[in-house]
Amino acid sequence: MADLTTKLGTIQLKNPVMTASGTFGFGTEYLDFMDLGRMGGIVVKGTTIRERQGNPYPRMAETSSGMLNAVGLQNKGVDYFVKHIYPEIKDFDTNVFVNVSGSTLEDYVETAEIINELDKIPGIELNISCPNVKEGGMAFGVSCPMASQVVKEVRKVYKKELMVKLSPNVTDIAEIARAVETEGADSVSLINTLLGMAVDAKTRKPLLSTVTGGLSGPAIKPIALCMVWQVANAVKIPVVGLGGIMNATDAIEFLLVGASAIQVGTANFIDPAVSVKIVEGIDKYLDDNGFKSVSEIVGALEI
């Protein structure tokens, strides 16, 4: 068995497989299907300073090899998380990251400050890339000055692993990655969903209540691979790759283009036990190909 451990900035993961925020609830939803202790980490549902009801139904549409969602960060707010959810998940035998989002700079800072006090949460994923909220969210992730500013302010109050989730809805994602690295991000995760829409020709109406939403699933994998490759070549901090990973082969492709770890998202809906299968598949690939550790294949793309 190969060494599956991988380093993500300040912390070590037992393997490079994590679950993506918004697709894995708080982990508790998946306990019937898998042992969370097998995971490198999980990123729980986006949390904001105050409760959010999200967008009206319909907020999901199936598309070719993927899906659009426009959930809009429905969550009960950080205080509820601390009081009711944290006690349920703090003893999971894996790294639990909290995805933090906000409408304003202050929202991000306040939420991060509260999460910083939780001993069993080793890191946050700063979501500056949600395409489904009217204010904040992606707005922070599509301009270098704004991305820099939010990371700089959160860095002042957040002392543990600070992973920043980047938006693909930009002209040059490497530029944003460099900007957040400069302000002290420990790692970056990418890509969040791509802005997209679906239309019903019969009714001449959009399929989502919000008209546009975020596209995920295997349809976006080639774009995600390309962006991970671009970012991995542009920054020194670890890159976490995600976007359409359905199986171990997909995950290995992300590692090869430079990701130190990966996240499994939409695939969790189709097979709730897929993440563990991906861990096993990576292990087998390393053994079959004579690699002794995951680190040997990170960025090992032969051009």
Partner 1 sequence: MKKFILDLDIVENQRLNYQYVLLKLTHSETLPPILPGQFAQIRVDGSPETFLRRPISINFVDTERNQLWLLIQVVGAGTRCLAELKVGEKLNLIFPLGNSFTVPEDKKAQIALIGGGVGVAPMLMYGEWLHRHGYKPNFLIGARSEVDLLQLEEFSKYGKVFTTTEDGTHGEQGYITQHSCLKSLSFDYIFTCGPTPMMKAVARYAQEKGIFCEVSLENLMGCGIGACLCCVTDTTEGNLCVCTEGPIFNVTKLKWQI
Binding site for partner 1 (CB under 8 A): 22-25, 29-30, 32-33, 45, 53-54, 56-67, 69, 71, 74, 217-218, 268-273
Cβ 207 to partner 1 shortest distance, Å: 9
Cβ 133 to partner 1 shortest distance, Å: 14
Residue 270, amino acid: I
**Tokens 């105050």 map to which residue?**
50
Three-class HEC string of the chain: CCECCEEECCEEECCCEEECCCCCCCCHHHCCCCCHHHCCEEEEEEECCCCECCCCCCCEEEECCEEEECCCCCECCHHHHHHHHHHHHCCCCCEEEEEECCCCHHHHHHHHHHHHCCCCCCEEEEECCCCCCCCCHHHHCCCHHHHHHHHHHHHHHCCCEEEEECCCCCCCHHHHHHHHHHCCCCEEEECCCEEEECEECCCCEECCCCCEEEEECHHHHHHHHHHHHHHHCCCCCCEEECCCCCCHHHHHHHHHCCCCEEEECCHHHHCCCHHHHHHHHHHHHHHHCCCCEHHHCCCCCCC
Cβ 190 to partner 1 shortest distance, Å: 20
Nearer to partner 1, 60 or 82 (CB): 60
Nearer to partner 1, 23 or 260 (CB): 23
Nearer to partner 1, 61 or 142 (CB): 61
Q: Distance between the two ends of the chain, CA-based, in angstroms?
A: 28
Cβ 115 to partner 1 shortest distance, Å: 20
Nearer to partner 1, 245 or 255 (CB): 245
Reply yes or no on whether 130 is catalytic: yes
Cβ 148 to partner 1 shortest distance, Å: 31
Q: Check 130, 185, 282, 286 and give the catalytic one.
A: 130
Instruction: Please report, for residues 151, 170, 188, 192, the alpha-carbon distance to residue 174 in angstroms, rounded to integers and kept in the order given.
Output: 16, 10, 11, 14
Nearer to partner 1, 20 or 251 (CB): 20
Nearer to partner 1, 27 or 238 (CB): 27
Instruction: Count Cα atoms within 13 angstroms, Cβ side, for 302.
Output: 1
Cβ 176 to partner 1 shortest distance, Å: 26
User: Active-site residue numbers?
Assistant: 130
